[in-house]
Structure 1
Amino acid sequence: MVSRQLLVCFRGASRTRVSIASTLRMFSSTRSSLLAAPADPPFQVTLDWVPIKSDLLPNAGRPPTAVLTSLRSFPSLEPVSFTHYPSDLFFRRIRSDILWRAVVYENDALRKRIGVFVRNRAEMGFSKKKMAPQKGRGKARMGKAGSPIFHNGGKPFGPRHPDSSTQILRRLYNIALRTAFSYAYQRGTIYVIDGAINLPVSHARASSFVFGELGLLGKKVYCITAEPREEISESLRAANSRSKVVLAKDIDVRMILQANYIIIEKEALDFIAEKTLGKEYLNPERKVSQIRRKSQRVRLHARRLTK
């Protein structure tokens, strides 16, 4: 260590043009001061994290498990009450990679099979009877008429309609669906309706007037319902509007991302939450009862093993 310090001192002396004698005097003074220093430091630094406990805010360090959502009336969209939904449905971190995988999966499922289709020997429709006896003719063996050796036979390994569909885990797709709803919730473009989304008449002017008063005319608005609503569907179809009515079971990630605004019934939102999260998220008592039943089964199995 001393030789390394000397080397550093001599290098510094060569750069700054300091004499060797002054460098040695500086090193000796530094060494004497280091020897005279106390062995233990005057203070100690602890890096242990001590959580702050407060009786006023006992859940201060915990992330929120639910978010508040205002329930509105249709067609005025005026708030009437509040409800809460799991933060995993409306307050997820936006993962663009998961959304991209879900959109690719949906686009591949909609893509048509385009290509040449050639029948093989089993699809020619000929009889499976052998064309000629195996022996006695003095010629080559012959099979059924659909064999590829014949002129009108099938083609082996011919081109087929390519299947462009891809696969995705159901759990990952449910996460993408919840992420899309979180994106719409954080933008403030989703309205939860306490009741049914419908109109009294199916005339084109009815939907045009309602959406015009709300400032949604000419925008892409998806009305997600739990059951078919004929009046508003026919009205939007007659008005040739960009908006349309979609059932909750037919919703996908692309629709949520492409929509300018989403108007969804509370019953439909509960159905989507139950489908993607499970019933225990909407009813915590159900989860507790499941845990109790499982613990009872475990105890009963342990008793049987001990007997």
Structure 2
Amino acid sequence: MKVAVVDSNGKDTGRKVELSKDVFGIEPNNHAMYLDVKQYLANQRQGTHKAKERAEITGSTRKIKKQKGTGTARAGSIKSGLFKGGGRMFGPRPRNYSFKLNKNLKRLARKSALTVKANDKAIVVVEDLKFDAPKTKDFTSVLKNLGLENKKSLFVLGEPNNNVYLSSRNLKGTEVVNSSELSTYKIMNANSVVLFEGSLEEINTNLSK
């Protein structure tokens, strides 16, 4: 699949690049994408939630009423979750939500996500950007020229560029990542994936294994 290369002004440079079929033209595997997104979201959870259970509540241990003859249910402790101020039954406990996926499945998921975006014509290839200093105004101009204002967009760098990253950090809905930081969630969460020319070789190398 050939895609035209545009400059930061959104104008066609007259050049085209070939998107690898092994990365951008496979049969998408929806289940692999689901698992990779599920793992990404699970890893974002802190898992620090906690509620006091019956054994952790401060209160009397005496039996609050006789066992029989009251006409109501048995009750042995005021700390029961049935009573106000009692412990919570089966409450949340601190836990780790993360789980493992093998590298081949994660690689398949990312290739599937890129293929979906390529099929939807949602991939844009742009000449490498270079900013002399971090300026949000400059990056906003790039978004406007590419027609990506007020849209979720993911910019993929070939190599770390601090000025480009800092220029985009305050913009809602826009994220800049290195090619090594690509994830299925970030790809699918964006309306458009903007690949800088320098990132293509790195993406092919990482995902063609």
For normalisation by structure 1, the TM-score amounts to: 0.50
Contact 1:180–1:256 (CA under 8 A) maintained in structure 2: yes
Verify: 1:174 aligned to 2:107, yes or no. yes
Higher RCO, Cα 8 Å, sep 6+ = 2
CA distance in 2 between counterparts of 1:71 and 1:245 reads: 19
State the SS of the aligned residue for 1:263: strand
State the SS of the aligned residue for 1:89: helix
Number of equivalences: 169
Q: Which has the higher helix share?
A: 1
State the SS of the aligned residue for 1:257: helix
Q: CA RMSD in A?
A: 2.4
Contact 2:123–2:195 (CA under 8 A) maintained in structure 1: yes
Listed as ranges, the matches of 1:181-260 within 5 Å are 181-194=114-127, 196-238=128-170, 240-260=171-191
Q: Which has the higher strand share?
A: 2
CA distance in 1 between counterparts of 2:31 and 2:188 reads: 14
CA distance in 1 between counterparts of 2:192 and 2:117 reads: 8
* Structure 2: runs of 5+ lacking an equivalent: 51-91
CA distance in 2 between counterparts of 1:85 and 1:162 reads: 42
Instruction: Tell me how far 1:253 sits from its aligned partner.
Output: 0.5
State the SS of the aligned residue for 2:193: strand
CA distance in 2 between counterparts of 1:106 and 1:73 reads: 32
Post-superposition Cα deviations, 1:145-164, rounded to whole Å, max 9, x if no partner, equal xxxxxxxxxxxxxx974221
Contact 1:73–1:80 (CA under 8 A) maintained in structure 2: no
Question: What amino acid is the match of 1:186?
Answer: N
CA distance in 1 between counterparts of 2:6 and 2:147 reads: 16
Instruction: Label 1:274 to 1:253 Cα distance change in 2 as closer, same or farther (>3 A).
Output: same
Instruction: Label 1:261 to 1:165 Cα distance change in 2 as closer, same or farther (>3 A).
Output: same
CA distance in 2 between counterparts of 1:267 and 1:112 reads: 35
Contact 2:4–2:12 (CA under 8 A) maintained in structure 1: no
CA distance in 2 between counterparts of 1:82 and 1:97 reads: 32
Instruction: Label 1:275 to 1:209 Cα distance change in 2 as closer, same or farther (>3 A).
Output: closer
Instruction: Tell me how far 1:102 sits from its aligned partner.
Output: 1.0
- Superposed structure 1 runs of 4+ greater than 6 Å apart: none
For normalisation by structure 2, the TM-score amounts to: 0.71
Verify: 1:109 aligned to 2:69, yes or no. no
Post-superposition Cα deviations, 1:19-78, rounded to whole Å, max 9, x if no partner, equal xxxxxxxxxxxxxxxxxxxxxxxxxxxxxxxxxxxxxxxxxxxxxxxx323333334252
Q: Structure 1 vs Structure 2: percent identity of aligned residues?
A: 17
Question: What amino acid is the match of 1:113?
Answer: G
Instruction: Label 1:93 to 1:77 Cα distance change in 2 as closer, same or farther (>3 A).
Output: farther
Matched residue, 2:19 = 85
* Structure 1: runs of 5+ lacking an equivalent: 1-66, 117-158, 279-307
Matched residue, 2:196 = 265
State the SS of the aligned residue for 1:269: helix
CA distance in 1 between counterparts of 2:10 and 2:49 reads: 51
Verify: 1:165 aligned to 2:98, yes or no. yes
